[in-house]
Amino acid sequence: MITLTTYKWVPDFAAPLMRAFRVRWALEEAGIPYNVRLVALGPEQRSPEHLARQPFGQAPAIEDDGLVLHESGAIALYIAEHSEKLMPHNRVGAARATAWVFSALNSIENAVQELGSIIFFHKDAAWAKERRPQVEQFIRLRFGQLAEALGDKDYLEGDFTVGDLMMSDVLRIIDSTHLIDEFPTLKAYKARCEARPAFKRAMAAQMEGFAPAP
């Protein structure tokens, strides 16, 4: 059975946003049961045992029948290979779904993560106040392009794929800014993804998995 390694505790704001959530969601979509191993931030996170699972001392990582895998994108794609719900079983469809995973991580997540870093860690810093408008403007550009690509489709390739899972999860990082409200079709797309029963099951598991704050 797959074992997912995630953290024992994270700050409240981070709990629903952890990258391990994507893995839980993919597993729920695919209907694959899993175990969870909880690692503590700090010394255990930097222990040789954990670094053997995740070379940067991060989460998530999975183990499956001798395979040890890090990076949420790689893990989501690995899980998707086992599920027609996540990955079309034709070469073109699979390639396009994979491309959207890369777009989510390399063209959207890096942009929203910069804003996330400002709002979660540096909100009141002078440099952050100066930088924030530029970061938001760049996100608006990317959101406009993404909305254009989505058009009037329900999902990026018509039917839901691992690409939509990753894209909608990345969009959640800056939920608290409501920037997506400026892009109604994108907002509806994200809501559609989050309304999926597998998303709700994964979120419930994610939130109940955390120990109370120390």
Sites of contact with ligand GSH (CB under 6 A): 18-19, 57-60, 71-72
Least distance (Å) between residue 60 CB and ligand GSH: 6
Least distance (Å) between residue 72 CB and ligand GSH: 4
How far apart CA 24 and CA 180 sit, in angstroms, is: 24
Long-range contacts of the stretch 142-148 (C-beta < 8 A, 24+): 142/107, 142/108, 142/111, 143/179, 143/180, 143/182, 143/183, 143/186, 144/183, 146/108, 146/183, 146/186, 147/183, 147/185, 147/186
Look at the alpha carbons of 132, 128, 170, 101 in this order and tell me if their dihedral is positive or negative: positive
Closer CB to ligand GSH, residue 70 or residue 192? 70
Least distance (Å) between residue 123 CB and ligand GSH: 19
Closer CB to ligand GSH, residue 60 or residue 88? 60
Closer CB to ligand GSH, residue 27 or residue 183? 27
- What size, in residues, is the chain? 214
The amino acid at 72: S
Q: Position of tokens 């550009």?
A: 141
**Residue nearest to ligand GSH as judged by C-beta position:** 58
Kindly give the residue spans of alpha helices, DSSP state H, lying in 31-109. Answer: 48-53, 72-80, 91-103
How far apart CA 9 and CA 139 sit, in angstroms, is: 30
Q: Which of 49, 75, 73 lies closest to 61 in space, CA to CA?
A: 75
List the structure tokens of 33: 């049961």
Closer CB to ligand GSH, residue 173 or residue 186? 173
Closer CB to ligand GSH, residue 49 or residue 152? 49
Least distance (Å) between residue 23 CB and ligand GSH: 9
Count CA atoms within 13 Å of residue 208 on its CB side: 7
Least distance (Å) between residue 41 CB and ligand GSH: 7
Least distance (Å) between residue 91 CB and ligand GSH: 26
Closer CB to ligand GSH, residue 86 or residue 88? 86
